[in-house]
Structure 1
Amino acid sequence: MTGSPPPFAPYEWMIAWRYLRARRAEGGVSVMTWISLVGITLAVFALIATLAVRSGFRTEFVDTIVGANAHVTVFHSQRVNEAGHTVRTIADYDAMAERVRAVPGVSRVTPLVKGQVMATAGGRNSGVEVFGITPEALAEIPRIADPETSRGDLSAFGRPAGTADAPETVGIALGSGVARELGVEVGDSVRLISPDGVRTAFGVSPRVKAYDVAYIFTAGRYDIDRTRAYMPFDEAQLYFNREGVADELEVTVEDPEAVDRYAPAIAQAAGQNAFTWTWQESSGGFLRALEIEDNVMFVILSVLVLIAAMNIVSGLIMLVKNKGRDIGILRTMGLTEGAVLRVFFICGSFTGIIGTAAGVVLGCLFAIYIDPIFATVNWLSGGGVWDPAIRGIYALPAELQLRDVLSAVALSLGLSFVVTIFPARRAARLNPVEALRYE
C-alpha cells in the first residue's frame, strides 16, 4: 500500500499551470487576474520607490547637516563683563578646546567667531552669517572643502590679495547662493557692513570693510549656500570686536548618529559654565517630521498593496466558478480537499509572485536611474518642479537599501498568500455531487 503524495506534489503544479495558461474561452485566467497582476506590480513599485526616496532624502538631509555644521556646539553661559554688557564669549577657548579634544570619539574641535552682516557688491545686497574659522579647520569641513562642487583656491582663504585698490584685503569664502545673489565670482571684492562696528566717543558706528572672494563653496543645502560666509578667525575677532575671545566651539565626532552619547562627556570636559547643543537637537523637528512622514507613507502604500492583493480574490473566485466541473471530476478521481486547495493556492499566489517580482524590478530601476527620470519630468513640465528654496536640497535623492526591498517583498507576498487562502478553501470544500449534478 503506497502512502499519500506529499503536499505540493508535481501533479498539483501541473494542474495549476494548465489552469493559468488556459485561454479565457476555456475558463482560464480572467481579465480580473491580469488587473490584479498589474495592480500588485504598480503597488510594489510605488512602495519601493517611496522607500528609496525616503532613505535617500534622510541620508542627504543628514549628510548636508553633519557635513557642513558642527556635530556638537559648545557655548558659554551668559555673564556680565566689566563694561556691564551681557556676553557669552569664551575667553579660554584654547584650553577648553584642548580638554574637549581629549574626549574619546571627538575628531575635531574648532573655535568660532560668528556674526551677522550685510554683504554688498555692485549695488546688490545680501544678508550673510559670517563664521570666523582658521584656514586649517575650514579645509577639514567635508561639504565646504569639496573641490568638485567649489570654485577658487582654498589655500587663498585668509591670504591678503594685495590689489592696488585694497592692498590689505583678506580672502574670504562665500556660499554659492550668496555669490549668485551678489553677482560675484572668485577674485571679485565684496564689502561687509556690520551695525555693531567701531566704538567711538559718540557711540558705535557701523563697520564697513572690503574683502576678496577667494573661494565659493556649495554645501548642498540651500539655506547654507544662501546665507553663509567664512572669514579667517583672527580677522573675525577684529571685525566683530572679539579680541582674545571666541563665541563657541565647533565639535565633530566620529559617529554623528550617536552624538547624544558624546554630548555629556564633552560638556563635562568643557567646564561647569559650558553648555552643548547637538545637531540632532537643532534639527530634531525636521528629523521627527521625516520619521512621522515615513511611517504614514508606509501605511498608506501598504493599504495600496492590500487593495491590489484583494483583486486576486476576485480573479480566483471567478476561476473557481469556471472550474466547478473540473473540481468535481478531480474530487471523484481521488483528489483530497487539501490537494484542491493547494492547486488554487498556487494559481493565486503565482499572480502575487509575478506581480511582486515585476514591481521589484521597476522600483529598483527607478531608484537607480532617478536622476535621468527626474530630469525628463522636469523638462516635460517646463522646469521648476523641485524648488531648493523650499526643500533645502537641490535634487530628489534616492538610496536603494536591501531592507526596504525585503520589507516590500515580504509585505506583498504575505498579503498575496493570505488573501489567496479564502477562495482556495472555497474550491476545496466544493461538493463534487453538486458540481456534477447538471453535467
Structure 2
Amino acid sequence: MPWYLYLALKQLFPTGKRLTFFTVISVLGVTLGVWVMIVFPGVMGGFGHKYRGLIVDTQGDIQVRASGLVRSAEVLQHLAKIPGVIASTPFAEGIVMLSNGNRPSFPGIQGIDLGHVEDVIPLRRHIVRGSLDDLDDDTVILSAGLANSIGAWIGSKVQVVSPATLEKMQRDEVMLPTELTVVGIFEIGHQQLDSSVAIVTLRRMQDLYDLGKNVHGFNVKLSPNEDVIEAAKRINATLPPMSGLRARTWMEANESFLLALQFEKMMVTLITAFVTLVAVFLITSLLLTSIVRRTKEIGVLASLGAKPTQVALCFCFQGMLVGVFGTVLGVTLGLLTLKNVDAILQGLLRIAGDWEAMVAIYQFSQVPAYITASEIVSVCAYVVGLSTLAGFIAAWRAAKLKPVEALRSE
C-alpha cells in the first residue's frame, strides 16, 4: 500500500486510540444523509409500487373498453389471437343501492366471469372470509369496509336495487329488490376499494342492468416481461375501427394519480440530495481545518520528498473513505428502516393524530416501501462521488502548500 494511503487510514482510524472527532462527525453526517436518501424516496416509491400492483390485481395489465356496450364472445376470441396476450376476462360494472335491514349503502358493483376471472385477476388471494367457489347468480362478495358499514357477514341476506330496477318502477312495473346472500368478504389493502365494492357474477350483473349478453369491457393479462405500452398499441391496431373499443394500459387509466406520486418522489429525492450535499460540505470544512492544524506535518512530508500529488491524494483518499463508510452505514440503516417503516410511521402518525389523514389521502391502510437496486446504486455513487470531491477540494489546498512556508507556520 502506498504510504500516503496508509497515512490517510491512520489519520482516520488511529491504532489503539479512539476515533477522531473528524472521523465520527464526517461519517455520521454522510450516514444520516444516505439514510434520508434511502428512506424518503423508498416510502414514496412504495406508494407507486403498491398502487401499480393494486391496479394490475384488480384490472389486469390492460383494460379494453368502449363508450357503450359490447358483445363479449367476439372480442374475447379476437384478443386471444393477439401476441403477448395470455388471458382476458369480460366485466360489467355500475352503482347500486345495497342494504342490510335498515342500513343502506351505495357501492360500486362489478360482475365477473367466473370461468376466466382467475386467469387475469387473483381475486381468490384477497378473500379473507368465505370462498370464491361459493359465488353464483344468487350470491355476492362484499369488500370488508362495505360489509362492516351495513352490518353484513357470511350468510347475511342483502337487498340490491339497480338503476334499471328504479326505471322499471317509474313505468309502474312491480319490481322487488334483488336479494343476494353474502358468501365472501375480500380485503385488498386500498381504503376506497375495501369500503365500497361488491362483486357478483357477470350474469347477475347483466340482469341487474338489463345488459342482455353485453358487457362494459375486458381485463387483459400479458405475458411476463411483455411491454405494456407496445401490447396496447398492438391491440388497438387490430381492433375493428367501428367497434369503439380502445385498449388502455394501467398507467393511462390512472395517469393523474401516478403523475402526482412521481412528482412527489422527485421533489423528495431532490430535497434529500441537498441534505446530503450539506453533509459533504461539512467534510470539506473539517478537512480544511485538519490541513490548517497539520500544516507543519505537511511541510515535513514535503521536505522528506513527498510530491504535492501524494500529499493531495492523502486528503482526497480521506474524503473518499468517509464517503464509503458513511454510505455503507447509511444504506444498511436505511434498508432496516424501510423494512420496519410501516410500524414506525404508524406509531409516529398516531401519536401526532395524522394517521387517518394519511390514509384518506393515499388510500392505503399500510405504509408501503419499495426501492430498486439501481436507485441504491445511484445513491451510493452520488454520495461517494461528492465525498471524494470534498476531499479533492481540501487536497488541492494541501498540494499548494510549499515546504518552507509550511515549516514556518505556527
TM-score by length of 2: 0.89
Aligned equivalent of 1:218, options 175, 183, 187: 187
Aligned equivalent of 2:49, options 28, 34, 59: 59
Change (3 A) 1:200 1:390: closer
What one-letter code is carried by the residue in structure 2 that aligns with 1:288? L
What one-letter code is carried by the residue in structure 2 that aligns with 1:43? G
| Other-structure match for 2:294 | 323
What one-letter code is carried by the residue in structure 2 that aligns with 1:151? R
Change (3 A) 1:15 1:268: closer
Contact 1:32 1:311 in 2 (8 A): no
Larger Rg: 1
| Other-structure match for 1:3 | none
| Other-structure match for 1:45 | 35
Indicate yes or no: 2:143 matched with 1:175: yes
What's the offset of the Cα at 1:186?
1.2
Contact 1:33 1:315 in 2 (8 A): no
Deviation track 1:40-84 (CA, whole Å, cap 9, x = no partner) reads: 11010111122332333222110000101143333345xxxxxxx
Change (3 A) 1:29 1:315: farther
What one-letter code is carried by the residue in structure 2 that aligns with 1:54? M
Indicate yes or no: 2:261 matched with 1:290: yes
What one-letter code is carried by the residue in structure 2 that aligns with 1:368? K
- 1:388-407 to structure 2, matched below 5 A, reads 388-407=359-378
| Other-structure match for 2:380 | 409
What's the offset of the Cα at 1:220?
2.5
Change (3 A) 1:108 1:318: same
| Other-structure match for 2:227 | 258
- 1:335-414 to structure 2, matched below 5 A, reads 335-377=306-348, 384=355, 387-414=358-385
The percentage of aligned residue pairs carrying the same residue is 26
What's the offset of the Cα at 1:235?
1.8
Contact 1:66 1:256 in 2 (8 A): no
Contact 1:349 1:420 in 2 (8 A): yes
Distance 1:53 1:201 in 2: 51
What one-letter code is carried by the residue in structure 2 that aligns with 1:187? G
- 1:39-438 to structure 2, matched below 5 A, reads 39-77=29-67, 88-90=68-70, 92-146=71-125, 149-158=127-136, 170-197=138-165, 199=168, 202=171, 208-254=177-223, 258-272=227-241, 273-278=243-248, 279-377=250-348, 384=355, 387-437=358-408
Aligned equivalent of 1:10, options 2, 15, 24: 2
What's the offset of the Cα at 1:437?
2.5
Bigger Cα displacement from structure 2, 198-207 vs 56-65: 198-207
TM-score by length of 1: 0.84
Aligned residue-pair number: 406
Change (3 A) 1:383 1:76: closer
Secondary structure, counterpart of 1:246 in structure 2: strand
Contact 1:120 1:192 in 2 (8 A): yes
What residue ranges of structure 2 are gaps of 5+ in the alignment?
Answer: none
What residue ranges of structure 1 are gaps of 5+ in the alignment?
Answer: 1-8, 78-87, 160-169
What's the offset of the Cα at 1:39?
1.5
Could you say what the CA RMSD is over the residues aligned between the two structures, in angstroms? 2.8
Secondary structure, counterpart of 2:215 in structure 1: coil
| Other-structure match for 1:20 | 12
Contact 1:96 1:269 in 2 (8 A): no
Contact 1:119 1:126 in 2 (8 A): yes
Deviation track 1:367-417 (CA, whole Å, cap 9, x = no partner) reads: 233344345445655783674332122211122432122111101000000
What's the offset of the Cα at 1:203?
5.3
Deviation track 1:130-152 (CA, whole Å, cap 9, x = no partner) reads: 112222234445442116x5210
Change (3 A) 1:228 1:379: closer
Secondary structure, counterpart of 2:123 in structure 1: coil
Distance 1:15 1:201 in 2: 92
Distance 1:195 1:414 in 2: 63
What's the offset of the Cα at 1:229?
1.2
Secondary structure, counterpart of 2:95 in structure 1: strand
Secondary structure, counterpart of 1:339 in structure 2: helix
Bigger Cα displacement from structure 2, 56-65 vs 10-19: 10-19
Distance 1:348 1:321 in 2: 16
